Homo-oligomer: A and B are copies of this chain.
Amino acid sequence: MKKILSAILVFTGLSTISLAQDLNRVKEPDMLRELHRSEILIPDIPGYKTLKGDFHMHTVFSDGEVWPTVRVQEAYIEGLDVIALTEHIEYRPNLDHLTGDHNTAYEIAAPHAERHNILLVKSAEISRSMPPGHLNALFLEDANKLDTEDYMDAIEEANRQGGFLFWVHPGWLAQQPDTNKWWPVHEELVQKGWLHGVEVYNWDEWYPIAFGWCNDKNLAYLGNTDAHMVSAYRFNLAEYHRPMTLVFVEERTVESVRDAMFARRTAAFFLNNLAGPEHLLRELFDASVEVRQPFMVNEEGTARLEVTNPTDLTFILENPSPSNDSPEKITLRPRSSVIITCDISGGEALLPYTVTNLHTGMEKNLGVELHVSSMP
């Protein structure tokens, strides 16, 4: 709570002096939130730096309600590295009040992004009825050229520009009311090399079946906000980070993000979950979790040891074959350690666990082995 300046009393060892306040103007820095970048602690993996991205957002230049610069400010405050303003080509309800074309949102945001060290990707959302539904095209040169009558022309043009295309909210109830299905046109796009990823998480929902598509068709996993309003007013940021796509890059440049995406080095991060290729999630797990040497071993060979997670990720480990020898469940919250017990009467132990919040496919979770050893 703020102290009232008019009442500041400074106690010294000998006396109390009253500090006159300025009657002209009293500053209250506590009323403001400082503008800094929150660092989300997610480790790099061997050979790659881990960037945090959101590749699906709207502004007033399509049907969003924020000015393009707000998306940069959000990204900065909320710890993202790279964003894309993906305005609908086909739906621009604010045109009565706005001028500009399909590149304008990008152009307004770009200088602001540069000054805040946020990578900004020129993008658009091709927004058609099903099939093919909505597809985001990233890394464009000119979004205006995607404003075509036939959606296939728009898709072809995006590819001609070197774009990375992904199917967004494939399981959106309005477009896939029954089964969330893979349509022939998506198969055709994959065959042509024109579709490169799937948004497995969007807004408040995820599509387990789409994990399978990513694996089967060799597509990148993406998780995005699809924010239309201000991020902080719509997402439960008190409890979770905003949904995002992790991108494992060689360096922090737009070009390197593009390379990583085409190389399928991405994972979706939503609530406490990660979804992505098994080898990437395993590397993230290994870079995050440390199984420490037991600090106590009793006569029966039962060890007590700490398992530590200094990151902002969460890992929920369940024992596929519970026994008395190791815990049924280990929950590793962000920046915390837990103590577990296990039998190491043989000198060491390999404890198999399923990480139930790390998804490597449809109904598949990362399997790990915790290696406990009394040797350092």
Contacts and interface: CB of A to CB of B under 8 A. Distances in A.
Interface of A: 1-2, 4, 6-7, 10-14, 19, 21-39, 41, 60, 65-67, 69-70, 73-74, 77, 94, 96-100, 104, 108, 114-117, 171, 173, 176-180, 203-209, 229-230, 232-240, 243, 270-273, 295-296, 304, 306, 308-310, 314, 316, 318, 331, 333, 335-339, 356-357, 362-363, 365
Contacts of A10: 19, 22
Nearest to A28: B204
A35 to B, nearest CB: 8
Given A173-B25, A335-B39, A356 B65 contact: no
Contact of A7 (B12, B14, B171, B318): B318
A73 B233 contact: yes
A34 to B, nearest CB: 7
A118 B186 CA distance: 46
A306 B117 contact: yes
The 10 A-B pairs with the shortest beta carbon distances in the complex, nearest first, are A24-B180, A7-B356, A25-B171, A37-B337, A13-B24, A36-B336, A23-B208, A12-B22, A2-B271, A117-B295
A175 B178 CA distance: 47
18 contacts: A1-B239, A1-B272, A6-B356, A6-B363, A7-B318, A7-B356, A13-B178, A19-B19, A26-B207, A31-B240, A33-B233, A35-B233, A36-B331, A65-B69, A65-B70, A65-B73, A74-B233, A98-B98
A86 to B, nearest CB: 17
A4 B357 contact: yes
A318 B18 CA distance: 14
Contact of A233 (B26, B232, B236): B232
A328 to B, nearest CB: 10
B204 A32 contact: yes
A2 B272 contact: yes
Given A30-B236, A34-B331, A36-B336, 9 more contacts: A11-B27, A19-B19, A23-B363, A28-B204, A31-B204, A39-B308, A73-B229, A73-B230, A116-B339
Given A180-B24, A229-B70, A357-B4, A235 B333 contact: no
Contacts of A30: 236, 239-240, 271
B205 A23 contact: no
Contacts of A338: 36-37
A230 B31 contact: no
Contacts of A233: 33, 35, 73-74, 77, 230, 232
A65 B65 contact: no
Nearest to A225: B31
Nearest to A39: B335
A339 B72 CA distance: 14
Given A28-B271, A30-B236, A356-B7, A36 B337 contact: yes
